[in-house]
Amino acid sequence: MSSQDRPADSKPAVQSTQESRMEGTDDRFNSKLREAFGSSPFILTKFDQFMNWVRGSSMFMLQFGIACCSIEMMSTYAIKHDLDRFGSGVPRASPRQADVIIVPGTIVSKFAPRMKRVYDQMPEPKFVVSMGSCTISGGPFQQGYNVVKGAEEVIPCDIHVPGCPPRPEALIYGVAKLQERIANGESSPVTVKPYELEQFGDLERDELVDHLAEDIDQETLVMRYNWADSS
């Protein structure tokens, strides 16, 4: 960029913005796309399809870190891998501004209700990329007394990226696949085995619930884990 590298005699050092832009023919509006369309600068498409294409091409990711996988997720956003190249945005800190949540890590009993709440706060349409073995099955910690066996026990997932941790390239591939599916208007079946957030008063009464009745208010939201049922 610096003007010192130029040979002294080639051009005047100072050039007005107008001059520099108007050099040659002004073809700012003659985009490649327009050339491709030929004489008629119109395309016909269904509005839905157009919207899907738009959606897939501009996705805002939620800045959401949980465990080791989030380190690789950060690498994916950062220099070298630069997820932004694929139109999947800069991470947003607020769930209310995000379309996609990447779930990067082990989910444990204390965190699952919070994650569910964050997911609920995202506006529709929203998509979930589950990153790493932990979000598929609990991964290396599947046997842990405190570990939820996969993100799908709590929220629905669109794409699973396997690995422990997946390489940034794998995550990019996962996100690109998601974009492709969104652009094609495909959606995943919702396969949540839901650990729901519900009011304590609505839980079926059993020994445990009776035992806790003194400590927990009827209206407090709770998540009940039936560890024996989750595989």
Q: Where do contacts with another protein occur on this chain (CB under 8 A)?
A: 63-68, 70-72, 74-75, 78-80, 93, 95, 105-106, 108-115, 117-118, 140-141, 143-147, 164-165, 167, 197, 200, 203, 208-209, 211-212, 215-216, 220-228
Contact 131, 73 (CB under 8 A): yes
Instruction: Give the CA-trace dihedral at 36, 38, 42, 47, to 10 degrees.
Output: -40
CB atoms within 10 A of CB 168: 19
The DSSP symbol for 66 reads -
Which residues from 69-98 bind ligand SF4, rule CB under 6 A?
69
Find the shortest distance in angstroms from Cβ 177 to another protein: 21
Instruction: Give the CA-trace dihedral at 183, 157, 197, 109, to 10 degrees.
Output: -150
Find the shortest distance in angstroms from Cβ 178 to another protein: 21
Residue 67 binds ligand SF4 (CB under 6 A): yes
Q: Which of 140, 144, 194, 201 binds ligand SF4 (CB under 6 A)?
A: 140
CA–CA distance, 80 with 65 (Å, rounded to integer): 20
Binding site for ligand SF4 (CB under 6 A): 67-69, 105-106, 132-134, 139-140, 164-165
